[in-house]
């Protein structure tokens, strides 16, 4: 059995019904679809307003916070909260919060602005912990200054700059002049070493590009050898080694191939090669 759709409100109605029961002025409620929707939202709003507020877990955000028996600074103090004490706030009134916890089973009132939520409490705890560590480091340095400076100097002489920098950073908050100068020098040494390492890596990459990645043969030297052979197709690479001489390489290659009589022989050749891979001299 097919159904019809009301053109006004969109609900489905039986085929035998001519008028939509929700849209006609003769329906019992007299609201229609829009009126019913508004009515439901009004009821939900009233229920939300009248429903009790959920409890909220907060922490004391100051060193000491007075707890009173009623909201207001003129009422009796019944105790105190310490920093980070956890409480459960049940209701609020004029900037005051009523709470309960194990210490105040019967409840008490505190000024709401001095309370912090759980996330704020975690941040504050972390900051205070960091501040304490910082102060402990300052106190230790002031009591053991000569020993700390001596340890840093020893590490720099051993070229252990990373570890030396860690120690300097640990006590940098003291603003000690000698320590600040050591910090600048160590940073310069580390930057210098990093630059040197980059140059060495770049140079090595330049050298490595001259050799085949699969068998280690020197590309240009191998071409030269094949051109000098009686039968280049008989070439078989055995081993290649090289020595870095600073401004050039000495490359040694051992290979097998056919001689003029067709016999297979093993030959050793050595060449002087530039850092760009160009053959400079051949040593047979």
pLDDT > 90? residue 237 = yes
Q: Tell whether the model's pLDDT for residue 112 goes beyond 90.
A: yes
pLDDT average, residue stretch 114-131: 92
Instruction: Give me the residue label for tokens 């240009």.
Output: 220
Please check whether residue 250 is in contact with residue 242, taking contact to mean a CB–CB distance below 8 angstroms. Answer: yes
3-state SS class at 166: helix
Map residue 255 onto helix, strand or coil.
strand
Mean pLDDT (the chain, rounded): 88
The pLDDT assigned to 207 comes to 96
How confident is the model at residue 27, as a pLDDT? 47
Over residues 257-282, the pLDDT tens digits come to: 999 888 999 999 999 999 999 999 99
At 41-89, the pLDDT tens digits run: 677 666 555 555 568 899 999 999 999 999 999 999 999 999 999 999 9
Give the 3-state secondary structure of residue 198: helix
DSSP state for residue 284 in the 8-state scheme: -
Query: pLDDT band for position 103 (50/70/90)?
Result: confident
């Amino acid at each position: 059995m097919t159904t019809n759709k009301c053109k006004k409100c969109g609900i489905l109605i039986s085929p035998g019904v001519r008028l939509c029961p929700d849209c006609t002025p003769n329906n019992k409620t007299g609201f229609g679809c829009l009126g019913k929707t508004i009515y439901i939202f009004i009821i939900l709003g009233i229920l939300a307003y009248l429903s009790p507020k959920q409890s909220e877990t907060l922490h004391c955000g100051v060193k000491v916070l007075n707890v009173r028996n009623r909201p207001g600074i003129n009422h009796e103090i019944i105790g105190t909260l310490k920093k980070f004490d956890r409480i459960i706030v049940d209701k609020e009134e004029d900037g005051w919060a009523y709470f309960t916890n194990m210490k105040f089973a019967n409840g008490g009132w505190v000024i709401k602005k001095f309370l912090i939520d759980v996330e704020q409490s975690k941040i504050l705890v972390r900051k205070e912990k960091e501040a304490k560590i910082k102060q402990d480091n300052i106190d230790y340095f002031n009591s053991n200054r000569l020993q700390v400076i001596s340890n840093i100097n020893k590490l720099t002489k051993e070229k252990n700059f990373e570890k030396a920098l860690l120690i300097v950073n640990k006590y940098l908050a003291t603003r000690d002049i000698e320590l600040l100068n050591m910090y600048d020098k160590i940073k310069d040494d580390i930057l210098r070493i990093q630059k040197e390492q980059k140059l060495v890596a770049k140079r090595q990459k330049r050298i490595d590009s001259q050799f085949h990645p699969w068998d280690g043969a020197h590309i240009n030297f191998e071409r030269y050898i094949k051109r000098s052979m009686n039968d280049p197709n008989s070439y078989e690479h055995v081993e290649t080694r090289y020595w870095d001489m600073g401004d050039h390489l000495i490359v040694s290659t051992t290979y097998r191939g056919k001689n003029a009589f067709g016999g297979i022989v093993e030959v050793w050749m050595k060449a002087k090669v530039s850092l760009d891979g160009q053959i400079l001299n051949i040593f047979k």
